[in-house]
Structure 1
């Protein structure tokens, strides 16, 4: 009886060790570098170019209004010696109102630019998040961590880094759209 139990125990132990390594390898923990995905994603460049064009148009409008206001101010400074007291007061009030409107407009444009930047960034991030989720499902990963340099993952082996694989497929999918 003793002779039979020893080989069975050895077989059971080897089976449990083998299954441990088998299941451990299929439960692989991997990560992607989110910053690299965002920077390397083709759509990021396309969205940034569109954002830059839109921003340049908005800034050009503001610059044009500032230039017009400065021109009026210089004209006022040249002509004020020939103006009556009432004309001076009216012109000062008009210039002050225009300056206030210009300041309000500049603030509104700055807010719009910030909102557009956030919207553009969120569009790219949503694309990447959706893709990584589908990538994880299709490749059988139970979890994919996102490393972004903000303390999420302090260390991981290079073999656990899926960033390049995901980025290649992400850009391929985007190019195919």
Structure 2
């Protein structure tokens, strides 16, 4: 019986050590749901609200220009029977030029808003990425994957999902707590 006790003890010890290493290393591979972080991060809401306010103001400016142009067009329709051919041609050119300028301005505003939306979103993403790097180091994770719902992580145990934990810590840091 003593002949088998030592080998069995060694095997049991080896299995125990391997099990501990396996479970320890598997818990160091975790992920966060990027979309949930973006949606739940309080700074995202603040930045998006500021952006929406600015976008609303810019769109109101465009709408105002369009309304003024439409008024001029109605006045032109009313008064055109009293105009000479030269005046008609000049007014039509002026209205067409003004319409083109408004269209160009509207396109420029849309491009500017699109660029600014990308910029503020990227700023928030950079904040989240920087936070996750520090969070991972502090918590001893080897890898934190980012899942975005498009197949980057096809399966993971729910215990590997750090999203809520990271989101809570991220918001606490943002609020200065």
SS in 1 for 2:31: strand
Q: C-alpha separation between the residues in 2 aligned to 1:127 and 1:93?
A: 51
Structure 1: gaps spanning 5 or more residues: none
Deviations 1:145-170 (A, max 9, x none): 11111111122221111111101000
Q: C-alpha separation between the residues in 2 aligned to 1:101 and 1:127?
A: 39
1:79 aligns with 2:79: yes
Q: What are the within-5 Å matches in structure 2 for residues 32-47 of structure 1?
A: 32-47=32-47
**Hey, what does 1:9 align to over in structure 2?**
7
So what's the TM-score if we normalise by structure 1?
0.94
1:165 aligns with 2:165: yes
Residue 8 of structure 1, CA deviation? 3.8
Structure 2: gaps spanning 5 or more residues: none
In the alignment of these two chains, the number of paired residues is 175
4+ residue segments displaced more than 6 Å: none
So what's the TM-score if we normalise by structure 2?
0.94
SS in 2 for 1:144: strand
